[in-house]
């Protein structure tokens, strides 16, 4: 998000995706207006792990306030901040009006199923929040010495997502991105746990592993949602490539909007 100066992570992501400067919020809103698309916006608070300060939940809430027809805001908290994180999540939802939580275990360097973080999940259950949580390979740190210190082990679907889904069945969990190299684990968790979904963001559709496309067409047709990962992957490119995939006609609207409507409780 273009609120603060670029973080170290942001600079590396720009290089990985060959991305120019991030567009303004106004330009993002205009693009989503043109595409008749609703975007979910958020930051990631990884201050404990990286030292970088995130764009605040107040900043995200202001974007939604300015463009309520184009954006839904999700909160961010740093799980390592303990009770302060739980309190901030409560404030972001009940006072600022944000609609969910974004977590990134690789950036934030935490195992989601560690019991010390259970108070955060208990608050998510209390507030009946959808949680978007990164799974699989992370572009940030890719190609840097030691991967920039970031460890992919935190983003493995089993046991981390599976444990949380079992312990907190009231929480709706969306696994962000095809979780390569653990695609089969991702599919298994989504099939086994009614409260777990996945999105297809962060991957150009032509590169999405074929077994995930097959499952999205069949057993996971009600569990998969669209996402582009803008600005790293522009939505118009994602949607254009999605048209070329062998997705059944009756499944396309489920992935593009019907499944998300249920998760986000949209009219």
For 110, the token pair is 């935490």
Burial 5-32 (b: 16+ CB within 10 A, else e): eebebbebbbebeeeeebbebeebbebb
As a whole number of angstroms, the distance between CA 115 and CA 77 comes to 17
Residues 160 and 154: beta-carbon distance below 8 Å: yes
Residue of 146, 162, 45, 75 lying closest to 111 (CA atoms): 162
Per-residue pLDDT, 233: 87
Name the burial class of residue 94, with classes exposed (0-12), middle (13-18) and buried (19+) by CB atoms within 10 angstroms of its CB: exposed
For 54, the token pair is 């995130």
Residues 255 and 216: beta-carbon distance below 8 Å: yes
Domain spanning 8-264: CATH superfamily:
Metal-dependent hydrolases (3.20.20.140)
Residue 8: partners with Cβ closer than 8 Å, 6 or more residues away: 50, 52, 148
DSSP 20-87: -SPPPHHHHHHHHHHHT--EEE-----HHHH-PPPPPHHHHHHHHHH-TTTEEE-EE--GGGTHHHHH
As a whole number of angstroms, the distance between CA 179 and CA 186 comes to 6
In degrees and rounded to multiples of 5, residue 217 shows phi and psi of -80, -20
pLDDT tens string for the chain (267 positions)? 334 334 455 665 555 445 566 778 999 899 999 999 999 999 999 999 999 999 999 999 999 999 999 999 999 999 999 999 999 999 999 999 999 999 999 999 999 999 999 999 999 999 999 999 999 999 888 888 999 899 999 999 999 999 999 999 999 999 999 999 999 999 999 999 999 999 999 999 999 999 999 999 999 999 999 999 988 888 999 999 999 999 999 999 999 999 999 999 987
State whether residue 182 is helix, strand or coil. coil
Residue 5: partners with Cβ closer than 8 Å, 6 or more residues away: none
Per-residue pLDDT, 12: 56
Residues 124 and 164: beta-carbon distance below 8 Å: no
The residue extents of the domains of the chain are: 8-264
As a whole number of angstroms, the distance between CA 190 and CA 1 comes to 29
């Amino acid at each position: 998000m273009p609120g603060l100066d670029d973080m170290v992570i942001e600079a590396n992501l720009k290089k990985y995706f060959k991305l120019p400067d991030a567009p303004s919020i106004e330009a993002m809103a205009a693009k989503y207006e043109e595409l008749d698309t609703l975007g979910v916006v958020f930051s990631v608070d990884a201050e404990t792990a990286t030292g970088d300060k995130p764009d605040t939940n107040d900043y995200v809430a202001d974007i939604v306030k300015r463009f309520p027809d184009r954006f839904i805001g999700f909160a961010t908290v740093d799980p390592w901040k303990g009770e302060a994180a739980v309190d901030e999540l409560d404030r972001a939802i009940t006072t600022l009006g944000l609609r969910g939580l974004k977590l990134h275990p690789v950036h934030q360097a935490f195992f989601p199923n560690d019991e010390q973080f259970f108070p955060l999940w208990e608050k998510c259950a209390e507030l009946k929040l959808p949680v978007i949580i990164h799974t699989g390979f992370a572009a940030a740190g890719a190609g840097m010495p030691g991967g920039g210190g970031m460890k992919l082990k935190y983003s493995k679907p089993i046991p981390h997502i599976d444990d949380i889904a079992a312990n907190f069945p009231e929480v709706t969990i969306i696994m962000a991105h095809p979780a390569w190299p653990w695609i089969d684990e991702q599919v298994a968790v989504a099939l086994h746990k009614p409260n777990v979904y996945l999105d297809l963001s962060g991957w150009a559709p032509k590169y999405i592993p074929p077994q995930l496309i097959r499952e999205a067409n069949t057993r996971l047709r009600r569990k998969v949602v669209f996402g582009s990962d803008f600005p790293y992957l522009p939505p118009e490119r994602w949607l254009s490539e999605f048209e070329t995939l062998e997705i059944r006609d009756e499944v396309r609207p489920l992935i593009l909007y019907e499944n998300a409507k249920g998760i986000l409780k949209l009219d």
